Structure 1
Amino acid sequence: MSHLTQREIESLRPDLERIVAEKVSDNHSDVLTTLEKCLYSGYDRKRATEKLSHWIDSKKASRLYDKLEDLMERRKSSSKLNKRGNDDADDKVIKKIRTGYETNEVSNAKPAQPPSVAAIPATLPTGVAPAAAADAKSLTSQQISMMMANAQREIEERKKALSTLPKDPANQEDVERAKKIAMLQAQIKAKLSGIGMSAIIPPVQEKPKPLILDEQGRTVDNSGRAISIPTLAPTLKANIRAKKKETFNKTTLSTERQQEDQSLKFFDERIAAKPALRSKRSLRFHEPGKFQQMAEKMRMKAQLEKLQNEISQIARKTGISSATKLALIAPKQDSHAEDVPQMEWWDSVILSNDLKTMDGDNIAIRESAITNLIEHPTQMKPPNEPIKQVYLPVFLTKAEQKKLRRQNRREAWKEEQEKIRLGLIPPPEPKLRIANLMRALGNEAVQDPTKIESHVREQMAKRQKAHEDANNARKLTAEQKREKKIRKVKEDVSCGVSVAVYRIRELNTFHSKKFKVEQNAKQLMMTGVVVLFRDCCVVVVEGGPKQQKKYRRLMMHRIKWDEDMVKNADGNEVPNSCVQVWEGTSARRHFGEMKFKLFPMEKMAREFFQKHQVEHYWDHGYTGAVLEACKQEDV
């Protein structure tokens, strides 16, 4: 089916309504709209029937399309006949004009007056040849009048025929054909008038009407009435976009102006607005004498530092400074440490009051406290014995572990089966997989394999999710993981603390080894101290047996002490060394977190250990260093 324009569809609408009313009982408007869309889009039979089948059945749609094709064929045939008839009529008119007579009306025609020059239309076609005008002059007056009468009669008949045709705006070809006939008539009149091309009156060109505006700027005519000038709408897309842009700019400007007017409406002029520009900075002058005072302070400070340096140099020469420092650092002697008591504490139980209570010349004694019975002390648990009884752990072999696990699982399975028999818990679903799908289900899997496969995959996903949820439930949190690590490293020292004492020749200058000594003690959760002294650095660490084992391996094997060379008391270079001085247990910890202590004198180092009640640690380490130095001197 050919494509039709909207005007052609409008002309066919009455026929379409008639066809739809004959073939369709309901949904007239929907079917009619669908038919018009099919004609506008030029759908073929299959596509149009498919569109119409949405509203009516396929048989009715096919019959309706047959009717539509018949209507279109009739329309095409009628348009061809009209075109052929119009062409024949035009040929007849031209032939009659050229021959000058008709077969049946030549003798009966009345003579007509030749048209005057004034009767010639103002606008004549420019395509009239001079030869045609010469032929017209050679004719007789009777023939000319007869030809004019015939031409006028044909023109009138043609006008009537044109008026009887339906006024269809879609028939543009008929309108153009009528214009051509009018132009041809004007040419014929020019030929018959006997006037050549030189005598044709040129067309009068109308001058443009004067533009008249009233007081309000409107366009008016001579009588003062307002004239509406039609505005041409743009057809090009570029012009349409430009017009839209112009209207958009106008609307935005109008909205901005409205907003400004609204803001000005609520503006209070009494409020002083701050200027937008930044004010200039004014010059600020210093007060007189400011820099002189600063200079005086600097001079006084320099003189004071110079005097202090001179006093310190004099004190070093005389030895006053060193004595002063030693007096400040030396511990105070306890005057009551060596006093002998008049009586020991265990004898004070039998005294009546105190030593001053006298019974004559003797000390008063409580006679009731002295009997013939032996007083035994209260039985107390030793401090190293744990409060709870400790059992030795039992370690099973791999076979015993497997057997125990198998028995436990068997018992759990029996208990679950018993609950299922009693109806306490529902029986578990069969464990299906893609591998055992056909073997487990059989006919059900064959009947609907897609459904069964989706069910099996859903069951597999459910089992996987349950497994992952169980793992996540057992997973430790970050805080629990941290506590577990600390618990694995930290040991129980409630029954006793393992202590180890190491002596190093030089540690203060080797920073990497200092870092290892300190960080390993902190990572193993051990306590202790590192005392730095020339030719004798003592390291004391406190912790559990496992911690001591790991730290001993660090100090004796992992750190290569002999790679570094140090100077002894004589100034000779000797390899550095580390020796384990002492190892044992203590009832409690005597130090806190691992720290470094630097002491310039041996006495100060011993007082530090004495303050923590472990001065024997220092004695062991320092005596070993002295003996080692003596051996080297002997060698």
Structure 2
Amino acid sequence: MLSKTELEELRPWVAETVQNTLGYSQDALVITALDCISKNLSRQSTTDQLAHYLAKEAPNFVATLYKKVLELKTAKLMSASFTSAKKRTLEPGEDEEFGNDEKPPDSKKKRASRFAASEDEAAPPDIQQLLENTRRQIEERKKQTQAMLIQTRAQVPTNVLPGVVPSLLPTTPHYPQAPAPSPASLDPGAMDKAKRMSELQARIQSQLMQQPGLLSGNKASSVKPTPLILDKEGRTVDNLGRAIQLSVRQPTLKANIRAQQRATFRQITEKKTSVKEVERVEGAFVDGRVRQGVAGRTKKQLAFNEPGKYVKQGQVLRAKAQLEALQTQIASVARKTGISSATKLALIAPQDGNDGGIPNTEWWDAVIISGESYADATLSQIPPQSRFKGITSLIEHPVKVQPPAEPNKMAALPIILTSRERKKLRKQRRREAEREKQEKIQFGLIDKPEPKVRISNLMRVLGSEAVQDPTKVEAHVRAQMAERQRTHEAANLSRKLTPAQRSAKKVAKMKEDLSCGVHVTVYRVHDLSKPAIKFKVDMNAQQLHLTGCVMLFPDVNLVIVEGGPKALKKFKRLMMNRIKWKPKKAAADDDNDSDGEGHVTNMCSVVWEGVVHDRAFNDWRVRNFPTEPLARDHLKRHKIEHYWDLALSQRIVEQEEEES
């Protein structure tokens, strides 16, 4: 892990690497990278952290970053090893093994304990031999370290960076001037260490030569900001006169950072598309349906009106007004003569084929008449043999068909018992269950239950045991009572239904059996535009689990409901009694059919009700229809368009009665 000072020294290098990778500086990325290094995260974790900023360039950036950190750590370890070696140098006059045993007269002598014995007297011969071997090994390692340091100082050139290398290499002024040992006399392991150390020193020197501004003579100078040097043209340059680019303060908000990233990505994409653009024939590979260019808000231009524009619009409006007045006049004349009602009823009639027309030949006459119609053949032209063919003296009785709305089997009527009879049946069931339990105990199938002890029958059930230790027996009895109470509550809780089960049970209870037929009722309302009334109709139909639809159309608002008889009975009470269709003023004045504003009083009527074999709708919907054909087509898809024809004909008849 790097210290704060080393992280600050690493910050300029990280900023420069980010500048080279992205093409612009980004402080958030530098801070995140240094944070990952300070937390000593793995390469994969660091890559995941920086992938938000660098995308595909994150692995390469992390590899370069960790390589630089490894170099800094190696330099730190080398500096620490040299410092420790410098501290371990021997002072003149000290013994080469452990120093001189004789201390200066002014040094304080430690008072020996009267209980401690000398080392030679206390240690056995085996321990003394072990100490001698240890001292000998330490002496050999000291000699190897001295030789390695002398050889390293001789190999490293000190004239490359005179201000830096002497500060890194340890000085040994107190070493005796002994000749360098030959390579044959050194340990092979020590030779390898010396070789690696020399290579590391050479690498450090090369890094310092490439970046001379990282280290300086004193330690405080690395913390100070770099001085600003300007050339004649006002550009920022370094010590060698090369132009450099200063870091610009970047936005720290996520929105600003993302906006800047989008702008940079857009510029890069435009450059790539401009470079890779291929010359092609105009229109050869262009689809006219695809919009060319970047979508954006176009500048609004001035639009001048052509002469006579508003004059034409006025003429069109006046022609429409004249046409509407002419249509109103024609409708009033047709209404007086009765042609309009006949025309509207004729338009309501179905136009599909010959439905509802008179057949050419009835099915019972098709056996006698050989032609396709009555006009093609007469009885005089038919021979007597074939005239009465198929007519016999036998009477044909048709097969009885079960009605679809009646069940195949008669439901058994439930037996209503009195309270005395219900108690008697309960006693019989409990007696049979107890008898079966006793038989199982006699045959050894189940264990005999413990006696049910309570405080009231304590003395009678336990007897002498209760007299001997009444406190213990009372505690045991109360524990049994508490256990029985817990068992009872657990059984009740297990039988208790969950909220979902209660809701499902309630829905199943409200839904009725529709296997014998579906009850249908069709209502027509003059005005269903009030939100309160519309909400009541919609919510009651959903709560009663009815299917159907509400069709909103002026004067022919249809409400078609399908379901069971009980649900339809409740819904009919809502539509006919609970909802007050007439306003209070109109209800008070029954003679006047219109309210104070001149509109027809709102009312609800039943168009048709009955039983059908299957449902026409699968759910409940409220829909608005602007025209009559759309409304009729909607019901035609469900094969119930006759509901609309019936309701529309009733409205036409009512209008004719009101106008007359």
Q: Provide the TM-score with structure 1 as the length reference.
A: 0.44
Q: Which has the larger radius of gyration?
A: 1
Query: Normalising by the residue count of structure 2, what TM-score does the alignment of the two structures yield?
Result: 0.43
**Higher relative contact order, chain-length normalized (CA < 8 Å, sep 6+):** 2
